[in-house]
Structure 1
Amino acid sequence: MDQAVSILTIEDETAVRRSLVAHLEDLEYDFIEAANGVEGIEAFNRAKPDLVLCDLRLPGMDGLDVLSTIAESSPDTPIIIVSGANQVSDAIQALKRGAWDYITKPIVDFQILDTAIERALNRARLIKENRDYQKHLETLNQELSIALGQLREDEEAARALQSSLLPPPEVQYGDYLFRRKLLPSLLLSGDFVDYFPIGNHEVGFYIADISGHGAASAFVTVMLKTLFEKHLDAYQHAQEEVVRQPHEMLDHLNRAIYQSPIEKYLTIFYGVLDIREHRLRFCSGGQFPYPMLFTGEQVTTLTSHDKPVGLFEDSIYTQHQIDFQPVQQFLMISDGILELFPRDSARRRTEWLQQMVSRGAPTIEELVDRFDIEQMDEIPDDIAFLSIVRGERNE
């Protein structure tokens, strides 16, 4: 059960103070009373309330001085002035000194007060959440900076670390066999794939392509894995469901990567497959080539035009859902595959890719053979494959 919100009321007129306290009690707020400014400051320091209601005309210590003292010591605590001094100059002075709102007495309609309290508490909550999130990002950035230095010192260790983060080459979830293969152009890869169970009947999966090459790009794959595991752990502890909603997950990734000290961005396709209902929720952050669906003899693509992740702070991601029942195979390949075709327009190279892929529902190994990838001395760009096949197949 959430802890009740506590409100400190600083008011010298007993009848007015009792009226306010009675109203707060009816709304199930915890309340603290103070009859003057000095008592109010002492009560605030002792109880640390979530919100303060304060009169301006107080005996001894003036309400503006009380306001200044509290605002200086605790700027994130909402302070609402409730005063009979109905003068514009008073309101301006109060707002300048840190008041969050100003309400005049007598209060004829308590809904005005209720709305002001609710608005102030919501704003305070958002400020706290943002500060906590910024603190988390700062900690994460420090950890990333340390880890990045370690990666640069020992790329072999980095490759071992990156490989350890990949899922098994193939895993069966219900009726679906998940397979992956990662072919780096250098020692470290900027491509990454992953799949993992979410609860009892859903599987999350993604393919990502980090901008650039080398240790910095590879490190973003570590960051990516860490962020997904953070939200998966939060879901498993019933704290949130972000990892189940692809558009929310990409929104969180976009903010974290945009604000990270590593100047990288990525394209990503993230899907959540309900293996019991055979439905797919998905969201694409600029991933290309588009994922391919094999249904019998037909091959279709899931087109999407959302922006890459981490490139723009205000990017908005759209979630889609499709019936996965007729799908025999779902295939995703990173854009490194397009570098194996002659230099031409992206559209033309995509057409060539679909021609190569559309001969049946090929396995990953069959595709590697078709493109003669493993016979090359070096490949021009990282290539990642992620395949989901309905029912188990033997390669």
Structure 2
Amino acid sequence: MKARLLIIDDEAMVRDSMEAYLEDSGYTVVAVDSGSAGLEVLDTQQIDLILCDLRMPSLDGLQVLQKVKQRSENIPVIVVSGAGVMDDVVQALRLGASDYLVKPIIDMVMLEHSVQRNLELVVLERQNESYRDHLESANRELRNSLDELRSDQQAGRKVQMKMLPDFVDEGGLSFRHKIRPSLMLSGDFLDYFPLDDKHYGFYIADVSGHGASSAFVTVLLKNLTYRLKRNLKRGSSQDLFHPVKVLERINQELLDTECGKHLTIVYAVLNLETLALNYSVGAHFPMPVLLIEGKAQYLEGRGMPVGLFRDAQYSEYQMDLPREFTLSLFSDGVLELLTQPSLAQKEEYLLNLIEQEAGNHDAIVKALALESDEDVPDDIALMTVVRNEYAVR
């Protein structure tokens, strides 16, 4: 459907020639001989473009242009002027005229081209306005979604923090921990808990990926250990005393959930009387660092990731610990903090750091800047287990 045009010109010959040519071009044209008549047309009809003479008695083109722009910014106005009134043309363009033509209009093709071009610009402007409105609406929805997501993540973070154990200081044995997520939620998790009067179980785990989906797996871990502790208390299961069985249970439950996540883990049981340490490894790296008499070394052990293979097999390792020791367990995010060029050098740095700080948890946290607010590339978890013979006495 062709556009509806309004011609305002007090010269009948100019008005009639423009009207005839534009109607032949397929436009619907309304032609009037004064500015006031043109404004009356605007009150009663939908007009898509105006052609207006600048020099008219009573209400001239500049006044018409001002009133049109006050009513609607979207109607393009092409001013028509004689060659001697270019100052008025400049003023009209400043007031918002879309284009200008000089009388007499010899080439009507130029008239049609100006009309067509300005109508196309109006269409583009309306499309842009619609796009801006859509974009603003989408941005509002996105901001609302982000606010909701942030609120959910903050709530999730509080839940995660409450799932972590309290520090332990009893009978010469202490447990400390620090988790620093790369996002609001963490895929790293750890826990420690008494199994009976003589044994403590503890683990550190690193779930694949980041964010909410990985954090969900940490809830599964906490729930599983809760159920195993409940079974232990009821006497229906001794699984928590056997590291291999614990990894097998986690492996089975992760695969059964079909959540597409796996994890690395070290689960250990410490006998407080004999100081025997039994542990199993599920592809975790770096291995825990044992500090004895000022000398640090990595524990031995290897195993398959947990949650990837139905037929995964795990081994149990056992070692006897001295009366005094410090055991530091890290997730692999700590390696991302270190600036050493090779993996071997990063591992060596961790050993040297633990020796230098005598395994002190707070000193290690400070040295690695784990209290910093700066973004980190990966979740970081640290657990420190210390036994002090003098405190036992």
The verdict on a shared fold, with TM-score over 0.5 as the criterion, is yes
1:275, distance to aligned residue in structure 2 (A): 0.7
Aligned equivalent of 2:362, options 330, 341, 365: 365
Partners of 1:181 and 1:307 lie apart in 2 by 26
On the 8 A contact 1:177/1:392 being kept in 2, the answer is no
Aligned equivalent of 2:264, options 257, 263, 267: 267
1:82-121 alignment runs, 5 A limit = none
Q: Tell me the equivalent position of 1:285.
A: 282
1:325 aligns with 2:322: yes
Deviation digits for residues 189-223 of structure 1 (CA, Å, limit 9, x no counterpart)? 11111000102211100001111100010110000
Give the 3-state SS of the residue equivalent to 1:194 in structure 2: strand
Partners of 2:176 and 2:390 lie apart in 1 by 11
Deviation digits for residues 358-392 of structure 1 (CA, Å, limit 9, x no counterpart)? 21423222112212333452122111111111129
On the 8 A contact 2:328/2:359 being kept in 1, the answer is no
Aligned equivalent of 2:209, options 192, 207, 212: 212
On the 8 A contact 1:199/1:236 being kept in 2, the answer is no
Partners of 2:326 and 2:178 lie apart in 1 by 16
1:201 aligns with 2:198: yes
Deviation digits for residues 162-190 of structure 1 (CA, Å, limit 9, x no counterpart)? 1111001x212432111111111111011
1:241, distance to aligned residue in structure 2 (A): 0.6
Partners of 2:258 and 2:249 lie apart in 1 by 16
Q: Tell me the equivalent position of 2:4.
A: none
1:346, distance to aligned residue in structure 2 (A): 2.5
Aligned equivalent of 1:244, options 235, 241, 245: 241
- TM-score (norm: length of structure 2): 0.59
Aligned equivalent of 1:336, options 329, 333, 338: 333
1:327, distance to aligned residue in structure 2 (A): 4.4
Greater Rg by CA: 2
Give the 3-state SS of the residue equivalent to 1:320 in structure 2: strand
1:162-241 alignment runs, 5 A limit = 162-168=160-166, 170-241=167-238
Give the 3-state SS of the residue equivalent to 1:280 in structure 2: strand
Aligned equivalent of 2:378, options 372, 378, 381: 381
Give the 3-state SS of the residue equivalent to 1:203 in structure 2: strand
Q: Tell me the equivalent position of 1:160.
A: 158
Deviation digits for residues 274-294 of structure 1 (CA, Å, limit 9, x no counterpart)? 112211111111111110111
Worse-matched range after superposition: 266-275 or 304-313: 304-313
The code of the aligned residue for 2:247 comes to: L
Give the root-mean-square deviation of aligned CA atoms.
Answer: 2.2
On the 8 A contact 1:175/1:275 being kept in 2, the answer is no
On the 8 A contact 1:159/1:187 being kept in 2, the answer is yes
Partners of 1:153 and 1:212 lie apart in 2 by 21
1:393, distance to aligned residue in structure 2 (A): 10
Give the 3-state SS of the residue equivalent to 1:231 in structure 2: helix
Give the 3-state SS of the residue equivalent to 2:236 in structure 1: coil
Give the 3-state SS of the residue equivalent to 1:276 in structure 2: coil
1:328, distance to aligned residue in structure 2 (A): 1.5
Q: Tell me the equivalent position of 1:57.
A: none
Partners of 1:374 and 1:393 lie apart in 2 by 30
Partners of 2:304 and 2:241 lie apart in 1 by 20
Partners of 2:318 and 2:168 lie apart in 1 by 23
On the 8 A contact 1:327/1:390 being kept in 2, the answer is yes
The code of the aligned residue for 2:222 comes to: K
Partners of 1:376 and 1:347 lie apart in 2 by 28
The code of the aligned residue for 2:221 comes to: L
Partners of 1:303 and 1:379 lie apart in 2 by 28
Deviation digits for residues 119-165 of structure 1 (CA, Å, limit 9, x no counterpart)? xxxxxxxxxxxxxxxxxxxxxxxxxxxxxxx9998111111111111
On the 8 A contact 1:155/1:188 being kept in 2, the answer is yes
- TM-score (norm: length of structure 1): 0.58
Q: Tell me the equivalent position of 2:114.
A: none
1:304 aligns with 2:333: no
Partners of 2:389 and 2:175 lie apart in 1 by 9
1:295, distance to aligned residue in structure 2 (A): 0.8
The code of the aligned residue for 1:285 comes to: G
1:29-108 alignment runs, 5 A limit = none
Partners of 2:232 and 2:345 lie apart in 1 by 42
Q: How many residues are paired up? A: 244
Give the 3-state SS of the residue equivalent to 1:216 in structure 2: helix
Partners of 1:275 and 1:218 lie apart in 2 by 32
Say if 1:257 and 1:327 are closer, same or farther in 2 by CA, change over 3 A. Answer: farther
Deviation digits for residues 56-89 of structure 1 (CA, Å, limit 9, x no counterpart)? xxxxxxxxxxxxxxxxxxxxxxxxxxxxxxxxxx
Q: Tell me the equivalent position of 1:276.
A: 273
The code of the aligned residue for 2:343 comes to: A
Partners of 1:173 and 1:280 lie apart in 2 by 18
